Amino acid sequence: MCKRFFSAAIVVSLLLMMFAVVPAASALTSGDYSYVVKDDGTARITDYSGSAETLVIPSRLGGYTVSEIGEDAFGFSYTLRDVTIPDTVRVIDALAFEYCDSITSVTFGSGVEQIGESAFWFCMALTEITLPDSLCEMGDWVFSGCSALSEIDFPDQAVRIGSYVFEDTAWYLSQPAGLIFAGQTLYTVKGDCPASVTIPDGTLAIADSAFSARTALTSVTIPDSVRIIGWAAFYGCTGLSDVYIPDTVEFIGELAFGYCNTRDSSGKVVRSAIEGFGITANVNTAAESYAANSGIGFSALNETTILGDADNDYLVSIDDVTLIQRVLANLASDPFDRISRHGDVSADGLDITDATYIQQYLAHYTVRYAIGK
């Protein structure tokens, strides 16, 4: 269920660009609530004007299912003490409950998947929280400044966690030095970072900027339980020259590896690739895509030597023909020209005749190229 968010982010931003000129739906009201009806026919609460101490947020408003708590919707609601979020809510947007400094208890519904940036920041009376098992993603700073927050119950699944989510919480301050875990997500390193870090098996995610600017780090072992590596997770780790990334990793955030801040000739801070840094991994993985898209070095562990095996499954089949057609139509990427190299059976550049030669080979025609060898 969570996987959708990690890949959907790009689609969402494309949609936002496409619809950027469409005016926002006008707000409706129901009791103390203002809301808008989203394109999917559900409601986003945009404002709350009441002064309840105990509040059970409704699951329906004006006949619409409430699926989202909008940006800053309950911010600065000083009377709120106990809040219950209904099971229908999937998304809690940025700043939704900021500076609700009387809130002592928040009960999340069983459907909450995303909590946006700074959603609960400076809820200074909040002491404990149980994050729902439905949770996939938390933005930056979500609970930062919640100084009384000492007990956090985390979900048992891979959660993408932003930067500084638990900054200045009692929970974080009470953690011993070393690797700090938020459930199965490696959140950060507290205190000095060792030169060599072995992330324990069972870790499912590495948070955004978890090891950012840890220049002492020269070696990191990522176990094959990890699925998510967050934005800038190893940004500025100039001591790292090579990282092995297992196949289980299905999402790598931008700038996770291979980049650092440097100064240009005028002294201005600029972002640069770390010279000599490379990733080692299998092909057809998130790691290969990350390296190709980021322009950093890549050592393939399992690259095929079979001519015509464009999809690298050690077999020449109709799937290779389809993949070559997709690459030629710009419907599939060709990281490091790998597909071109193995698909170009006639050794004169990849074109549609290569697909034809492979089809002839599959139909047992005599082909002059060494396809399948």
Half-sphere exposure of 72 (CA within 13 A, CB side): 1
User: Residue by residue, what is the 3-state secondary structure of 113-152?
Assistant: CEECCCCCCCCCCCCEEECCCCCCEECCCCCCCCCCCCEE
Residues 350-369 interacting with Ca ion (rule: CB under 5 A): 354
What is the closest distance, in whole angstroms, from the C-beta atom of residue 1 to Ca ion in the complex?
31
Sole window of 81-89, 142-150, 277-285, 346-354 interacting with Ca ion (rule: CB under 5 A): 346-354
Query: Cα separation of 339 and 280, whole Å?
Result: 18
Query: Does 344 contact Ca ion by CB under 5 A?
Result: yes
* Residue closer to Ca ion, measured from CB, 44 or 342: 342
Backbone angles phi, psi at 343, to 5 degrees: -90, -20
What is the closest distance, in whole angstroms, from the C-beta atom of residue 218 to Ca ion in the complex?
38
* Residue closer to Ca ion, measured from CB, 113 or 344: 344
Angle at 211 between CA 209 and CA 215, to 5 degrees: 125
Hey, what are 217's tokens? 């780090």
Query: Does 334 contact Ca ion by CB under 5 A?
Result: no
Which of these, 12, 64, 15, 72, lies nearest to 36 by C-alpha position? 64
Binds Ca ion by CB under 5 A, chosen from 59, 325, 346, 359: 346
Angle at 343 between CA 283 and CA 319, to 5 degrees: 75
Nearest residue to the partner Ca ion, using Cβ:
346
Contacts of 86 (CB under 8 A, 6+ apart): 56, 57, 58, 59, 66, 109
* Residue closer to Ca ion, measured from CB, 158 or 371: 371
What is the closest distance, in whole angstroms, from the C-beta atom of residue 343 to Ca ion in the complex?
8
Sole window of 10-18, 31-39, 76-84, 312-320 interacting with Ca ion (rule: CB under 5 A): 312-320
Binds Ca ion by CB under 5 A, chosen from 300, 320, 321, 371: 320
Please, is 167 exposed, middle or buried when counting C-beta atoms within 10 Å of its C-beta (0-12, 13-18, 19+)?
A: middle
* Residue closer to Ca ion, measured from CB, 71 or 309: 309
Residues 272-311 interacting with Ca ion (rule: CB under 5 A): 309, 311
Half-sphere exposure of 102 (CA within 13 A, CB side): 14
What is the closest distance, in whole angstroms, from the C-beta atom of residue 350 to Ca ion in the complex?
6
Sole window of 39-47, 110-118, 170-178, 336-344 interacting with Ca ion (rule: CB under 5 A): 336-344
Where on the chain is the footprint of Ca ion (CB under 5 A)?
309, 311, 313, 315, 320, 344, 346, 348, 354
